[in-house]
Amino acid sequence: MIDHKIRIGVLISGGGSNLQALMDSCDAGKLNGRIVFAGSDNPGAAGLARAREKGIPVFSVNYSDIIKGVRQGSITPPDDFDFNDSYSKQGLFGKDADPEKVRIFLESRAACESELLRHIFSYEFDVLALAGFMRTLSPYFIDRVNTDPFLPRIMNIHPALLPSFPGVDGYGDTFRYGCRVAGCTVHFVDYGEDSGPIIGQKSFQILPEDTLESVKSKGLEYEWQLYPECVQLFAEGRLTVVKEKYELKNGKAHERKIVRISNN
């Protein structure tokens, strides 16, 4: 049970409206926490200015430059990077994936992430909130942040009702599919793509007069409510991850880690 003001680290890539919602909720006392840093994979991320204005420490790790360096051989992965460990855990690659591409992907991510770890561990934080952070985190990073298997501490907000429409364009994919309902999801991060245990979701109707733009802007407003609410549940010590096992009618076993939310 965490009983102090929770210390929240935030990672962004773009405009940072979710970062703003978290900062505002802390200021309003709706979220019993404070933002201890805002970091980005992109030095030009506009949202960093929002944190700077509030006197919150900011940093960036230039992913594009590091990835280029790894491709060209001028940057090598960190000494403690274990390719086989990351490869066996990250279920993102099909069995026909080009081994060279997989190697570059995992090595370059580890090189970026060792810089990211150096920055974030220079602060003390309880939870790391990805708020429009558009990079996949690899096991190298996740395992160094999540040390308690029953209380992961990396959260993400995704612009769709997972498990539908993982990936970079949740509202676009929902709208183009012809769904009648859209929404957003906050989940813990695991090794897959937007596949971790779900903490909270909000949904809304897609009306005949809606456009992709109107769906995106409605969705964002729901995100700004949902994310602080989910981080507050963490702050109240109400989240645990449990492994549920079911036997399906066809006799097959179904196993999934899910989030349990305890009462106050």
Give the DSSP letter string of 97-150.
S-HHHHHHHHHHHHHHHHHHHHHHTTS--SEEEESS--SPPPHHHHHHH---TT
Helix (H, G, I), strand (E, B) or coil at 1: coil
Give the residue from 45, 27, 29, 48 showing the smallest Cα distance to 37. 48
Residue of 9, 33, 47, 77 interacting with ligand GRF (CB under 6 A): 47
DSSP code for 10: E
73, 96, 105, 137, 264 from 100: Cα distances, Å? 13, 12, 8, 19, 50
Minimal distance, residue 96 CB to ligand GRF, in Å: 28
Establish if 14 lies at the interface with ligand GRF (CB under 6 A).
Answer: yes
Which residue's C-beta sits nearest to ligand GRF? 132
- Applying CB under 6 A, the span of 12-20, 66-74, 99-107, 246-254 interacting with ligand GRF comes to 12-20
Q: Is 82 exposed, middle or buried (0-12, 13-18, 19+ CB in 10 A)?
A: middle
Establish if 15 lies at the interface with ligand GRF (CB under 6 A).
Answer: yes
47 vs 228, beta carbon nearer ligand GRF: 47
Residue of 9, 39, 152, 159 interacting with ligand GRF (CB under 6 A): 159
- Applying CB under 6 A, the span of 10-18, 121-129, 142-150, 254-262 interacting with ligand GRF comes to 10-18
Dist. CA 140–CA 107, nearest whole Å: 10
Helix (H, G, I), strand (E, B) or coil at 178: coil
Minimal distance, residue 18 CB to ligand GRF, in Å: 3
**239: β partners:** 261
10 vs 235, beta carbon nearer ligand GRF: 10
- Applying CB under 6 A, the span of 13-21, 100-108, 114-122, 235-243 interacting with ligand GRF comes to 13-21
Q: Which positions ≥6 away from 18 have C-beta within 8 Å?
A: 12, 129, 131, 132, 157, 223, 224, 227
Catalytic residues, by residue number, are 158
63 vs 81, beta carbon nearer ligand GRF: 63
Minimal distance, residue 165 CB to ligand GRF, in Å: 11
Establish if 128 lies at the interface with ligand GRF (CB under 6 A).
Answer: no
Establish if 17 lies at the interface with ligand GRF (CB under 6 A).
Answer: yes
Cβ atoms 61, 41 nearer than 8 A: yes
Residue of 9, 39, 132, 228 interacting with ligand GRF (CB under 6 A): 132
106 vs 157, beta carbon nearer ligand GRF: 157
32, 56, 236, 237, 260 from 263: Cα distances, Å? 17, 32, 10, 10, 10
Per CB under 6 A, contacts with ligand GRF among 206-245 are 220, 223
Question: What residue ranges bind ligand GRF (CB under 6 A)?
Answer: 12, 14-18, 47, 131-132, 157-159, 220, 223
